[in-house]
């Protein structure tokens, strides 16, 4: 049988891979968005594992709402990215320093 | 090792391997495809946890819609690959060290002593007549009906925001010009005209 700790350790590994991806791909906004998706899937796996082992469906409901908000986030993020590319001609993080003091 | 463990380890291996391949991929389109593989493995793991509806939703919504949207944007924006990886080497050691430290800490906290099978026994599997969708729907339309409607509003706002952001022709929608409104004078708006009034009729 697969224990709860196996699922939790798997999702923590995926979470850390997503975190390392944000460190590594600092100049590529699209890959940053994908790393955020990876982190969200790791968190969702946590919720579902606890929901299964505790016999409570509320965890799955939370995952449903996380999926909704993540889809909205990706839609707006990619729209901002398209706008950024149109204005600056590049989606490099280095050129988006207008707010720097 | 029974079949459930075998399936779990195979899916976990592909999930971790494709995630690693995603963050090290040089090409953004390849990274999206590796992430799709990772999402499929995650959906398999969710089915092992008897969350069938969410597993199917992950594939339909994420792989079917969100990842295709990513691919569209990557193909639409002609990204210069050479500049994107310029700082790769500088942050690689720091990222790996932070990730390894977090994994070690989480393994200590979440290990078998705290969440193993002795502490948290695996629940009995549901029978063939159990419907995950029915259970979720009962919860969603009774206890969580207000959050459900809020989620619909969030999606609507996302649609409006995305369309407003990328809409090109500004002339097609009306907006205020604040300085023009503040600077307006009475003579711009009101024009006094003297009109000869008709003679009063006798009653």
ipTM: 0.91
pLDDT at B60: 93
Q: Is residue A97 part of a domain?
A: no
Distance from CA of A101 to the nearest CA of B (A): 22
What tokens appear for B154 in the block?
């969030």
Q: Is residue A57 part of a domain?
A: yes
A35–chain B Cβ distance below 8 A for any pair: yes
On the 0-12 / 13-18 / 19+ scale of CB atoms within 10 A, A81 is buried
Note which residues in 3-32 of chain A have CB less than 8 A from chain B. Answer: 3-10, 12-28, 30-31
Task: Note down the domain range covering A60.
Answer: 4-92
Note which residues in 6-25 of chain B have CB less than 8 A from chain A. Answer: 8, 12, 15-16, 19-20, 22-25
pLDDT tens digits, residue range B139-180? Answer: 999 999 999 999 999 999 999 999 888 887 665 667 788 888
Beta bridge partners of A92: A28
Note which residues in 45-64 of chain A have CB less than 8 A from chain B. Answer: 45, 48-49, 51-53, 55, 57-58, 60-61, 63-64
CA distance B20 to B188: 66
SS3 label, residue A28: strand
Number of domains in chain A: 1
Helix axes A4-24, B28-48, angle to 10 degrees: 170
pLDDT tens digits, residue range B58-72? Answer: 999 899 999 999 998
> For chains A and B, what is the number of CB pairs under 8 angstroms?
237
Q: Which of A22, A45, A26 is nearest to A35 (CA)?
A: A22
CATH code where residue A82 lies: 1.10.287.3510
Binned average pLDDT, 10 residues per bin, chain A of 101 residues = 89 93 82 92 95 91 93 91 82 72 65
| ∠ CA A17-A23-A26, rounded to 5° | 125
Q: Quote helix, strand, coil % in chain A, to nearest 5.
A: 80, 0, 20
Q: Is residue A70 part of a domain?
A: yes
Containing H/E element for A63? helix A58-88
DSSP class of residue B177?
Answer: -
pLDDT tens digits, residue range B91-108? Answer: 788 888 988 999 999 889
Confidence at B137, pLDDT banded by 50, 70, 90: very high
Q: Is residue A34 part of a domain?
A: yes
Best residue in A78, A84, A91 for a mutation probing chain B (most B CBs within 10 Å): A78
Percent of chain A with pLDDT over 90: 56
CA distance B15 to B7: 12
Residue A41: count other Cβ atoms within 10 Å of its Cβ. Answer: 30
Best residue in A53, A70, A74, A83 for a mutation probing chain B (most B CBs within 10 Å): A74
Residue B113: count other Cβ atoms within 10 Å of its Cβ. Answer: 11
Closest alpha carbon within chain A to B103: A13
Q: How many helices (H) and strands (E) does chain B have?
A: 11, 0
């Amino acid at each position: 049988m697969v224990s709860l700790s196996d699922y939790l350790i798997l999702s923590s590994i995926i979470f850390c891979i997503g975190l390392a991806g944000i460190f590594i791909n600092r100049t590529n906004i699209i890959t940053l968005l994908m790393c955020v998706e990876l982190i969200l899937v790791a968190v969702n796996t946590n919720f579902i594992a606890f929901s299964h082992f505790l016999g409570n469906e509320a965890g799955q409901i939370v995952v449903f709402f996380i999926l909704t908000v993540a889809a909205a986030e990706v839609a707006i993020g990619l729209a901002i990215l398209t706008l950024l590319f149109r204005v600056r001609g590049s989606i490099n993080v280095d050129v988006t320093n207008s707010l720097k003091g | 090792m029974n079949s459930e463990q075998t399936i779990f380890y195979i899916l976990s291996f592909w999930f971790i391997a494709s995630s690693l391949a995603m963050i090290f991929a040089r090409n953004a389109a390849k990274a999206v495809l590796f992430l799709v593989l990772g999402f499929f493995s995650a959906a398999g793991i969710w089915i092992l946890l008897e969350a069938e509806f969410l597993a199917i939703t992950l594939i339909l919504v994420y792989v079917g819609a969100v990842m295709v949207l990513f691919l569209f944007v990557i193909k639409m924006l002609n990204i210069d690959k050479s500049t994107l990886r310029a700082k790769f080497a500088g942050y690689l050691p720091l990222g790996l060290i932070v990730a390894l430290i977090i994994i070690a800490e989480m393994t200590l906290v979440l290990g078998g002593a705290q969440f193993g099978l002795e502490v948290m026994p695996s629940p009995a599997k549901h029978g063939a007549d159990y419907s995950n969708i029915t259970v979720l729907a009962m919860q969603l339309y009774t206890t969580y009906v207000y959050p459900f409607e809020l989620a619909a509003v969030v999606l609507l706002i996302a649609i409006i925001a995305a369309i407003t952001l990328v809409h090109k022709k500004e002339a097609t929608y009306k907006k205020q010009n604040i300085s023009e409104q503040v600077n307006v004078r009475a003579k711009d708006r009101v024009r006094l005209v003297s009109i000869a009034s008709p003679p009063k009729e006798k009653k």
